[in-house]
Amino acid sequence: MEPETREEPEARDEPEAGDEQSCTVYGLYDQDLTHKTILVGDSGVGKTSLLVQFDQGKFIPGSFSATVGIGFTNKVVTVGEVKVKLQIWDTAGQERFRSVTHAYYRDAHALLLLYDITNKSSFDNIRAWLTEIHEYAQSDAVIMLLGNKADMSSGRVIKREDGERLAREYGVIFMETSAKTGVNVDLAFMTAAKELIGRCLELPKEPKFQINDIIEQKPQKSGCCGFT
């Protein structure tokens, strides 16, 4: 049965023309960076919930209603001494919106690709998602694979090692997250931000996160992103 639909999350701040630029440097350690991050993955894996948990620190339980189209949220984070504005796009996972969301891949600096650890088909579809990402996204975009709903240990059908193996095969960063408990949610977005900053700016080797969490796996990619 097709899930009922819901309105896309309310945008708090319209994207500006200047947002096309990923690295706007006003001065050493007075940088203002804007990075576009896009959430993708099958319908129901928890993209909207992950964003709500990151943005508002809460989880809204209840019946599932699918995202229609695409919406975005701006969130400023601090990594080391650098402030970054993350413009996070929440896409609809349903197949019928796929052509709409493809258009957003091109401008994304980071893509967070989710599957649900309790849903085998959402994991089986990851290869197809990665193929689409490689087709439509920038070649130097940061890609993270997130196994969401990690709190549902009794319903787990995808082992953590399977997620790790797949991520290794594609050379992408991997974590398990829970939009419900918040485990690794900040860390996932902060890791993407840190990776993007590392590609844009010269930073101290070990910038300190503003959150108390443990890095599950260090980013495997490094080097220049080629942003202008």
Ligand X SMILES: Nc1nc2c(ncn2[C@@H]2O[C@H](COP(=O)(O)OP(=O)(O)OP(=O)(O)O)[C@@H](O)[C@H]2O)c(=O)[nH]1
Among 23, 33, 38, 45, binds ligand X (CB under 6 A): 45
CB 93 within 8 A of CB 99: no
CA distance 48 to 54: 10
**C-alpha gyration radius of the chain:** 17
Regarding 67 and contact with ligand X (CB under 6 A), the answer is: yes
CB of 102 to ligand X, least distance (A): 15
Count of residues engaged in binding ligand X, rule: CB under 6 A:
21
CB of 108 to ligand X, least distance (A): 16
Nearer to ligand X, 87 or 119 (CB): 119
Nearer to ligand X, 59 or 197 (CB): 59
Nearer to ligand X, 82 or 175 (CB): 175
CB 67 within 8 A of CB 48: yes
Regarding 119 and contact with ligand X (CB under 6 A), the answer is: no
Inter-axis angle of helices 47-56 and 185-200, nearest 10: 80
Cα dihedral across residues 175, 176, 178, 182: positive or negative: negative
Q: Please report, as ranges, the residues that interact with ligand X according to CB under 6 A.
A: 43-49, 61, 64, 66-67, 92-94, 148-149, 151-152, 178-180
